[in-house]
Chain A
Amino acid sequence: MASLDRVKVLVLGDSGVGKSSLVHLLCQNQVLGNPSWTVGCSVDVRVHDYKEGTPEEKTYYIELWDVGGSVGSASSVKSTRAVFYNSVNGIIFVHDLTNKKSSQNLRRWSLEALNRDLVPTGVLVTNGDYDQEQFADNQIPLLVIGTKLDQIHETKRHEVLTRTAFLAEDFNPEEINLDCTNPRYLAAGSSNAVKLSRFFDKVIEKRYFLREGNQMTLSPICWEMFSIWIPGFPDRKRFGAGTLKSLHYD
């Protein structure tokens, strides 16, 4: 059973937006009864049928890594979190529809996560500044999910839902808005479920099927060495992360 292939998807977002409830809903099809503060990282696994309904159907494990904390955390917490960002195949950004700041913080989250996994293509990595060109070469599929839809009054919904349109300019992600306490938003056959399925399929494709035209053809060992020798990389932790990568790659 454990011999199925797997992909790793990060779930990022501010504290209290509902990442744990979302992950629980996605993996166990049940509403989370008692959500509490996520310390560190909590993982859950979803069994996904790639290309469901076609003859090429294959089952994969999707690991959802729900990383807790806020963007403004102490740098010691950020450094510790960084160990979870290795070899990521897809990212789900979660924001709270009742909380404007959480959608604005998604940019900073993307900086934190994607800066670590950028394959060095010669793009200049400025230290902490937000530079749109960094994401031009980004190969990792992204999904944006807005939660707590039920708490937004009907009249305000339109204004709130269009707020996240700015994210589309930068990443071109898919978008889903839902309420994590209500499983019907992700019921089979609904448009949200279709988007989710498509996203996971894209993640699996990028990981397993598109090796030919992709920088990820570099074998893991070469990748590590490449990253050490690029001058000016902001964190010396790359070295440590490299050795850890070899432990995690299968």
Chain B
Amino acid sequence: MSFLIDSSIMITSQILFFGFGWLFFMRQLFKDYEIRQYVVQVIFSVTFAFSCTMFELIIFEILGVLNSSSRYFHWKMNLCVILLILVFMVPFYIGYFIVSNIRLLHKQRLLFSCLLWLTFMYFFWKLGDPFPILSPKHGILSIEQLISRVGVIGVTLMALLSGFGAVNCPYTYMSYFLRNVTDTDILALERRLLQTMDMIISKKKRMAMARRTMFQKGEVHNKPSGFWGMIKSVTTSASGSENLTLIQQEVDALEELSRQLFLETADLYATKERIEYSKTFKGKYFNFLGYFFSIYCVWKIFMATINIVFDRVGKTDPVTRGIEITVNYLGIQFDVKFWSQHISFILVGIIIVTSIRGLLITLTKEDFTEVESESSLVGKFFYAISSSKSSNVIVLLLAQIMGMYFVSSVLLIRMSMPLEYRTIITEVLGELQFNFYHRWFDVIFLVSALSSILFLYLAHKQAPEKQMAP
């Protein structure tokens, strides 16, 4: 009887999450598009719903809501469904949509998407070999095999993002790093930009005129076709087309320069705004926070290094540790059991909410000019998002990443929970080597943090030098 009640509660909450994911999809991700594939929307919302349900089950675990056997049942079911989606459905649909974009293979879409999916499964399986993730007791298609691999990918992702975030956050908030920017700097750059544009225009005018005279003379085809055409072009080479390619190269170089100048000018404006902002109260408050954040991030990096160097994995979670300290050293007596439950609930809740929020905000970022400056590959990726053809693929990729991210959050959250609440995760997820995941997280976190420090340092040093150049 209680099982039925519990199940109905779970199902209602799942429907709520599903609805939220659906709305988010419609309002934020795809708010402007006429053409919408409903399959993609459904898949995204379902992934979101089941990921959130997992977090909900953790919260219930801590608070002791619902019957423990029904909780266990729902855990298992949830996990099976999510794995089904992440490993079977989403990759298959990604392959399907990629193939539908290629016009050549349009006829045999299904066949090629199955082939793509099989290739994905092969690499996915191979991924598990180099890692000592699980004891060899289990069969091929067990939950543990799948979860372990999903966990590896997700943990890598989380560590990369946290590493970068840990370094970037204090850098953005603290005004210590702000360069001094004056109006004359900006004006000088703008003048250079316009001069470059003028140079590009004059070259393009020459090209347009040359093309027009060639067209009028009847030399329409620049490219020689066929064997005899090539021989002919060697002897009677149209000097017009040679000139054009030369000028085109100069134009390409100038256009690259104009892009750089534009980005630098935008950067200067942004820095100027930040300087003005930091003089306000809000700015000072964030600056202050930035100092705290930087200390926290440095501590995290330090702890990660210690963990790796001394080869130790923390046994107790921060909550119990904190309670121990307060009870033993500060001598404050309070009801340990009661407080540990609530504090861990709050802590876990904060972690969950901030990671979901961070992910969703990154998904809906509108202006990508800052990202473009970092590498053209990332710029091409974000350009693909805005075209409606590949946006389906992008959204599915995001759903896949989101699912993997949340699954590995569950793996890692286990560390932040006191012992009595960890049991269910250990039970459900089977005998995974949790220690490995924490070690792996620390390693990737460290690598990511260090490389972001290096990257930001280089970017910071390079910028004032560019301004000095005439």
Contact residues of A with B, CB < 8 Å? 1-2, 4, 6, 15-16, 27-28, 36-37, 39-47, 61, 63, 69-70, 72-77, 79-80, 83-84, 97-102, 151-152, 156, 160, 240, 243-244, 247-248
Contact = CB atoms under 8 A, between A and B. Distances in A.
A69 B369 contact: yes
A247 B383 CA distance: 34
B243 interface: no
Nearest to A37: B383
Contacts of B297: none
Nearest to A79: B269
Contacts of A156: 34
Contacts of B137: none
Contact of B379 (A39, A84, A247): A39
A69 to B, nearest CB: 7
Interface stretch (B56-64, B79-87, B201-209, B340-348): B201-209
For B201, B206, B267, B369, which residue has the most chain A Cβ atoms within 10 angstroms?
B369
B34 A61 contact: no
What size tier do the contact residues of chain B reach? 35 or more
Given A36-B380, A63-B201, A72 B208 contact: no
If over half of B's interface residues share one DSSP class (helix, strand or loop), that class is named, otherwise mixed; here it is helix
Contacts of A45: 201, 204-205, 207-208
Interface in B360-376: 366-370, 372
Given A39-B259, A76-B268, 4 more contacts: A40-B259, A47-B212, A77-B367, A77-B369
Contacts of A47: 208-209, 212
A151 B36 CA distance: 12
12 contacts: A1-B209, A37-B372, A37-B383, A39-B379, A61-B205, A74-B270, A80-B269, A83-B190, A97-B34, A100-B32, A240-B187, A248-B194
B382 A37 contact: yes
Given A1-B205, A47-B212, A80 B262 contact: yes
A75 to B, nearest CB: 7
Contacts of A40: 193, 258-259, 261-263
B383 A2 contact: no
B190 A70 contact: no
Nearest to B274: A76
Contact of B372 (A39, A42, A84, A151): A39
Contacts of A98: 33-35, 388
Nearest to A1: B209
A61 B207 CA distance: 12
A15 B266 CA distance: 17
A15 B386 contact: yes
A16 B369 contact: no
B211 interface: yes
B411 to A, nearest CB: 36
A150 to B, nearest CB: 12
Interface of A is mostly: mixed
Contact of B34 (A28, A39, A99, A248): A99
A40 B368 CA distance: 12
Nearest to A100: B32
Given A27-B208, A43-B201, A37 B194 contact: no
B427 interface: no
B31 interface: yes
Given A37-B379, A39-B259, A61-B208, A101 B197 contact: no
B208 A46 contact: yes
A152 B388 CA distance: 12
B205 A2 contact: yes
B383 A72 contact: no
Most chain B CB within a 10 A radius of its CB, from A44, A46, A73, A79: A79
B194 A247 contact: yes
A20 B248 CA distance: 17
A1 to B, nearest CB: 5
